[in-house]
Amino acid sequence: MRATLDFDLATPEAPPEASIEAAVKLLKSGFLFRYAEMGSEGNEAALLEQEFAALLGRKYCIAVNSGGSAIFLALKAAGVMPGDKVLLNAFTLAPVPGAIEHLHAESVLVEINERLVIDPADLRAKAEASGAKYLLMSHMRGHVADMDAVQEICEDLGIKMIEDCAHTMGATWNGKQTGQFGLAGAFSSQSYKQFNTGEGGLIVTDDADLAARAILMSGSYMLYPQHSAAPSEEVFARWKGAAANHSMRMSALVAAILRPQLPLLPARNARWRNIHDRIAARLTHQLIRLPQRPPEEDYTPTSLQFFMEGLSQPQIEAVIADCTAHGVPIKFFGGNTPEGFTSRAPHWEYVKPQPLPRSEAILSQLCDIRLPLGLSNAQADTLADVVLQSLNEALP
Ligand SMILES: Cc1ncc(COP(=O)(O)O)c(C=O)c1O
């Protein structure tokens, strides 16, 4: 009997009752925009910024309308100008090189290793060869690089690091949270992340100038005194005239939905980790290899990655089609065309082609499964069984 999963893996975690109540209260008030012309004590967005800054142990926080906007604004507020080179790990999602393109800057792609994270040796080599002074460090799919090595390279070469923490809310390297290593960290609250507000983004930083510029550029209409996790007036005075308004604010409604989710993070991450590790442990098969996780990494997975080894691309695609037919849609990073949430450097035609032999070889076998928080243990076991049975069918 073939196993079949009867659960939509794209089911997001619904916001808690407290989010719904806060949203309804705000809707009834009509104050959905985060700024008021007559003061704004108690505005949900300003409160969220205070609470999120505290969660990350950072001085400043800026709430925006998406994770992609958070990355764009963090880079721009860090000083990236058109034509500047920005280092970026080759395994990431399209909005990440998209943010660099939005700045008319140039992506310099860095090889990844078998752990699916940036290769420190290639980072140093590419940084020295290109002279790039910015690194957009994307903790893609929740895999955390050797951040001690990355930070040392950045310090040696005077590189400003911005972290893309869309997949690592709460993850740590050697006990330090992602979002605390770089000059700034960018987060997303799109539905499949640890917090679900549909759309949403957050920037954290300890840098007063970056914070002031990001607040002004996010579109605060000179109402920036209504931000509470923000630098002093004299810092804003330096940037007021120079910062363009990009209208990327977070609405008060999104903030109202997000705030009650913050305290749920540890419990959600523990549940996600349980689902991930349970499936990972069951996926033992001669054609499967899981990326290694070193002890320094405390990961917060919302998806699971594995390599399908010893099969050709058409064979991998046939296994994936069989899994999908049995209720387990698998994303494949080795495909010829970008599909769903899955693409890689050769698909980003706006990025100058760059040789990435190691990353291409690694991604040619990489499979990826979304893990909804609502998956029961029994469903998690069925999911793994579907994959194992499809692989057995593919064995010669
Ligand atoms: C790794 C990564 N970075 C950034 C983003 C951008 O987040 P958003 O969709 O909120 O713009 C995503 C989106 O899924 C992502 O996967």
d(CA 358, CA 264): 38
- pLDDT per residue rounded down to tens, the chain (396 residues): 899 999 999 999 999 999 999 999 999 999 999 998 765 567 999 999 999 999 999 999 999 999 999 999 999 999 999 999 999 999 999 999 999 999 999 999 999 999 999 999 999 999 999 999 999 999 999 999 999 999 999 999 999 999 999 999 999 999 999 999 999 999 999 999 999 999 999 999 999 999 999 999 999 999 999 998 999 999 999 999 999 999 999 999 999 999 999 999 999 999 999 999 999 999 999 999 999 999 999 999 999 999 999 999 999 999 999 999 999 999 999 999 988 888 899 999 999 999 999 999 999 999 999 999 999 999 999 999 999 999 999 876
Do 181 and 212 sit in the same domain of this protein?
Answer: yes
Does the pTM surpass 0.75? The reply is yes
Do 339 and 362 sit in the same domain of this protein?
Answer: yes
Do 258 and 144 sit in the same domain of this protein?
Answer: yes
Do 175 and 194 sit in the same domain of this protein?
Answer: yes
Atom of ligand 1 lying closest to residue 138 CA: 1
Please give the pLDDT value at position 297: 98
Do 269 and 207 sit in the same domain of this protein?
Answer: no
Q: Where does a domain end: 263, 296, 331?
A: 263
Say if 7 falls within a structural domain.
no
Do 86 and 191 sit in the same domain of this protein?
Answer: yes
Q: How far is the CA of 115 from the centre of ligand 1 (A)?
A: 20
Number of compact structural domains in the chain: 2
d(CA 224, CA 217): 11
Do 177 and 86 sit in the same domain of this protein?
Answer: yes
Question: What range defines the domain where residue 69 resides?
Answer: 17-263
Say if 10 falls within a structural domain.
no
Instruction: Give, using CA atoms, the residue closest to atom 7 of ligand 1.
Output: 67
Atom of ligand 1 lying closest to residue 201 CA: 10
Domain with residue 103: its CATH number is 3.40.640.10
Please give the pLDDT value at position 25: 96
Q: How far is the CA of 68 from the centre of ligand 1 (A)?
A: 6
What phi and psi, each to the nearest 5 degrees, are found at residue 262? -55, -45
What phi and psi, each to the nearest 5 degrees, are found at residue 297? -95, 120
Please give the pLDDT value at position 39: 59
What sign has the CA pseudo-torsion 330, 335, 341, 345? positive
Please give the pLDDT value at position 212: 98
Q: Which are the contacts of 41, defined by CB distance < 8 A and separation ≥ 6? A: none
| Ligand 1 in reach of 120 Cβ (< 6 A) | no
Q: Where does a domain end: 263, 286, 303?
A: 263
DSSP per residue over 308-365, as a string? E-S--HHHHHHHHHHHHHTT---EETT-SS-BTTB--GGG-TTSPP---HHHHHHHTT
Say if 3 falls within a structural domain.
no
| Ligand 1 in reach of 219 Cβ (< 6 A) | no
Say if 321 falls within a structural domain.
yes
- Check residue 144 and report its DSSP letter: P
Do 158 and 195 sit in the same domain of this protein?
Answer: yes
Cβ neighbours, 10 Å, residue 47: 18
d(CA 395, CA 285): 11
| Ligand 1 in reach of 97 Cβ (< 6 A) | no
| Ligand 1 in reach of 189 Cβ (< 6 A) | no
**What sections of 166-264 are H helices per DSSP?**
208-219, 233-239, 252-258
Do 254 and 379 sit in the same domain of this protein?
Answer: no
Q: Where does a domain end: 239, 263, 287?
A: 263
Do 353 and 217 sit in the same domain of this protein?
Answer: no
Q: How far is the CA of 3 from the centre of ligand 1 (A)?
A: 32
Please give the pLDDT value at position 286: 94
Domain with residue 340: its CATH number is 3.90.1150.10
| Ligand 1 in reach of 167 Cβ (< 6 A) | yes
| Ligand 1 in reach of 142 Cβ (< 6 A) | no
Do 224 and 355 sit in the same domain of this protein?
Answer: no
Say if 98 falls within a structural domain.
yes
Please give the pLDDT value at position 40: 59
Say if 9 falls within a structural domain.
no
d(CA 116, CA 114): 5
Do 29 and 176 sit in the same domain of this protein?
Answer: yes
What phi and psi, each to the nearest 5 degrees, are found at residue 119? -90, 110
Say if 5 falls within a structural domain.
no
Q: Which two tokens stand for residue 315?
A: 């064979």
Q: Which one, of 245, 215, 241, lies nearest residue 230 by Cα?
A: 215
